[in-house]
Structure formats: structure tokens, C-alpha cells
Structure 1
Amino acid sequence: MAPKENPDYDGQRPRETPPPGNPGTGRPASPGVYPVYTQVPPGLFPGIAHMATSIPVPAVCPYCGNRIMTVTTFTPGLLTWLLCSGLFVFGCFLGCCLIPFCIRSTMDVVHSCPLCHHQIFYFHRLGL
């Protein structure tokens, strides 16, 4: 009995999947070593973006290409200095004018990558 004709069959043996390991070297891959993809979709992070939040956010780092949860650092910004100056003018010159430097909700926020430590976002309290 003759085999049935298959239009997709080219007469060769079916292809086998290559063994796991580094291609071309024949050695097995090192355990725990994973490839790092550095290509970020266009338009996702054009340079350093302005993020409208002061809490850590999940993101893709445009520098190292890893999926991360950003690390936030509070820095004195324009709002902090304006409040300090305003308190000083209205009589709080004995140290009370420094209170805005202790309140996180008055400071700007820098979002950075925990792996490569590059600045990713900068959140300005006063969007000037």
C-alpha cells in the first residue's frame, strides 16, 4: 500500500529542535544567566519623561531595558523654596521656615532605576 500524498511533505526528515545551550559553541547555557533586551518600543519613554505621581511605578528602564519598579527620592524643589521664603517673610525666621523641607508632599520626586541608577522620571510639584 502506497503512502498518501501530502503536499507539505518535501521528502526530508522532520526537523528536530536544537539542544539547549549557547548556539554555535555546543556548551550548555550557564544557569541563572538570562538575556537582557535593550530595545524599548518607540514613544514609550522619549528621554526623561515627566510622571505625574510621587509613588513608585512599574516601568521599563530606557537605559538598561529591564522591567523595574522605580525608586523614588524626594528633593527640594520650587514649591519647597517658595513655602520656605513665604514663611520667612511672614515672621517664621527662627527655624520654622524650614518645615517645608521636612514634608514630603512639598518636595519634588525623582524616579530612578534600582539596577542601573539612572534617572527615569522627574515629578515637579509646580509644573513650570
Structure 2
Amino acid sequence: MKGPPILTTVVPVGPEPTHMICPHCHAEIDTTTYTRPGNIAYIAATLICLMGCAFGCCLIPCCIDNCMDVHHTCPNCKAYLGKYRR
């Protein structure tokens, strides 16, 4: 026997962990976040490389938090919940 359907709303994710109800496991959670280089990091690295700093300096934007995209997952079921792009 199934219960009533659970309706969830889309919660916008930001650069910090977000308090929400997971749409997959329906648990009340604070999202787990991790960062990956985003488009801004790759564009900045390309521009630095084109300016002549190709010996490792072009990788600096991949280490700066403001150039990283933030990915959100559920700590309970490990479902991917969204991405905050910088």
C-alpha cells in the first residue's frame, strides 16, 4: 500500500551547504558540497597561458575558490542535487 505522494520543491543551491528535503530519499538534510573547476577557471587558465605563463602559472585559477563550481549531493543517499556555477 502506497502512502500519499510526497511533493518537493526545487531549492536553489548556493556556494554553501543548503538545508532541504532530498527529492530522492525524502530525508531532511544539509547538502554535502565539493568543488570542481568551472568555466571561469578554464577561461582564466587559457588567458594566462596565452599571455606566456605556461609553466604552471596557468593552473592557479584551478586552486582559487571563486573560480570553482560547487556541487551538492545528499549525505544520506549520495544523490546528486545540483550545481552552483560561478
Q: TM-score range by the shorter chain?
A: 0.7 to 0.9
Q: Hey, which of these two has a bigger chunk of helix by percent?
A: 2
Aligned runs of 1:52-71 on 2, under 5 Å? 53-71=14-32
How many angstroms apart in 1 are the aligned matches of 2:6 and 2:62?
A: 39
| Runs of at least 5 residues in structure 2 that lack an aligned partner in the other structure | none
CA-CA distance at 1:50 after TM superposition? 5.1
Identity %: 33
CA-CA distance at 1:118 after TM superposition? 0.7
With structure 1 as the length reference, what TM-score do the two structures score?
0.60
Give 2:6's aligned residue: 39
The question of whether the paired residues in 2 share the 8 Å contact of 1:40 and 1:60 is answered with no
Give 1 or 2 for the bigger CA radius of gyration.
Answer: 1
Query: What is the alpha-carbon root mean square deviation over aligned residues?
Result: 1.6
Size of the alignment, in residue pairs? 82
How many angstroms apart in 2 are the aligned matches of 1:85 and 1:50?
A: 30
**Structure with higher RCO (Cα < 8 A, 6+ apart):** 2
CA-CA distance at 1:124 after TM superposition? 1.1
